[in-house]
Amino acid sequence: QVQLVESGGGLVQAGGSLRLSCAASGGTFGNYAMGWFRQGPGKEREFVASITWSSSSTYYADSVKGRFTISRDNAKRTVYLQMNSLKPEDTAVYYCAARYGPPSTVVGNFDSWGQGTQVTVSS
């Protein structure tokens, strides 16, 4: 199975930017889809963005479209989430996830998860 480690979270002011990284190890990545999810206080985990290792096809939640960009570096086996124009409502723990098969927006379809990294956006 795939092991995932996130990094890059922190505290930023509204309008600022952060880039999250997710390093993958173990198994293969060619047939996996990767996703970013987030969970704010008192809320359920929700879909943010996803990407495929093979084709680099991307998908975004409406709430982040135009502000966030997901990308991957196959050589480094790392997925990134570039977050621009951050808003206080983006405050959450962000999780990297992987599944074997096609991309998905559903939490339950992902098999492997990172430990999460905290993103806090102040007004």
Burial of 121 (0-12, 13-18, 19+ CB in 10 A): buried
Distance CA 31, CA 120 (A): 33
What per-residue confidence (pLDDT) applies to 68?
A: 98
| Confidence check: pLDDT of 32 > 90 | no
62-84 confidence digits (pLDDT tens): 999 999 999 999 889 899 999 99
pLDDT of residue 9: 98
The span from the CA of 80 to the CA of 77, in Å, is 10
pLDDT for position 55: 76
Q: In this model, does residue 23 exceed pLDDT 90?
A: yes
Is residue 8's pLDDT more than 90?
Answer: yes
